[in-house]
């Protein structure tokens, strides 16, 4: 049996670098962080303790309200309570938790301290590894080992920040100022 199947703990597939934001920061800063680090969510912390999550979906849903969405504090849009798991949770259990709570990201917390994150993509990579063990085909191995594969290529990049222009706030800001 492969090592992937033997242990199967979230600590083996988690991302340990998780983007966080303070409870009183503004939604605009949360979006800037998502763009800067190319992530779909940020964990909201209160004195380093994870208390919620703000996702692209949260912002999209709130955008229908209009007003000054970007100037709202993240605590007013964040999803709470934070659905989380321990790094020692078995991977199969993460599937259950994410389906049960209807979430696509599962922060990993140990003694009230954020230590990592597992997403649907992480779980998909794990499933591919388990399915193809022991001989991953080269094209699948590339998908599993490269977490930053771009689905769309040839898109223009922002000259200021280097992100794709359709994901960049600074390009939109410059264009809006010129109009």
Closest CA to 54 of 75, 32, 85: 75
β-sheet bridge partners, residue 157: 164
Model-wide pTM > 0.75 = no
- The answer to whether position 4 is within a domain reads no
Q: Would 2 be classed as within a structural domain?
A: no
Q: Beta strands of 23-85 (E only): which ranges? A: 41-46, 49-55
Its domain, for residue 159, covers: 150-179
Residue 131 is encoded by which pair of tokens?
A: 């399915």
Residue 74 sits at φ, ψ, to 5 deg, of -60, -30
How far apart are the two ends of the chain, measured CA to CA in Å? 62
Based on the fold, state whether residues 114 and 156 are members of the same structural domain.
Answer: no
Is residue 90, in this structure, part of any structural domain at all?
A: yes
Q: Which of 119, 134, 162 is the last residue of a domain?
A: 119
Structural domain includes residue 84: yes
In the chain (179 residues long), the average pLDDT of successive 10-residue segments reads 62 92 93 90 93 91 77 90 94 93 94 93 86 74 59 53 55 39
Counted domains in the chain: 2
């Amino acid at each position: 049996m492969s090592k992937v199947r033997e242990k199967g703990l979230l600590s083996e597939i988690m991302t340990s670098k998780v983007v966080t934001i303070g409870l009183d920061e503004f939604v605009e800063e949360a979006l800037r962080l998502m763009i800067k680090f190319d992530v779909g969510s940020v964990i909201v912390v209160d004195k380093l303790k994870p208390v919620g999550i703000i996702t692209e979906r949260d912002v999209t849903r709130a955008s229908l309200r209009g007003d000054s969405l970007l100037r709202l504090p993240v605590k007013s849009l964040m999803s709470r309570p934070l659905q989380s798991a321990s790094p020692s949770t078995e991977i199969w259990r993460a599937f259950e938790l994410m389906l049960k709570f209807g979430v696509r990201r599962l922060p990993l917390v140990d003694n009230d301290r954020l230590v990592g994150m597992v997403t649907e993509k992480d779980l998909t990579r794990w499933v591919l590894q388990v399915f193809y063990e022991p001989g991953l085909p080269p094209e699948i191995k590339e998908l599993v080992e490269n977490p930053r594969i771009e689905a769309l290529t040839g898109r223009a990049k922002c000259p200021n920040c280097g992100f794709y222009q359709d994901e960049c706030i600074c390009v939109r800001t410059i264009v809006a100022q010129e109009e």
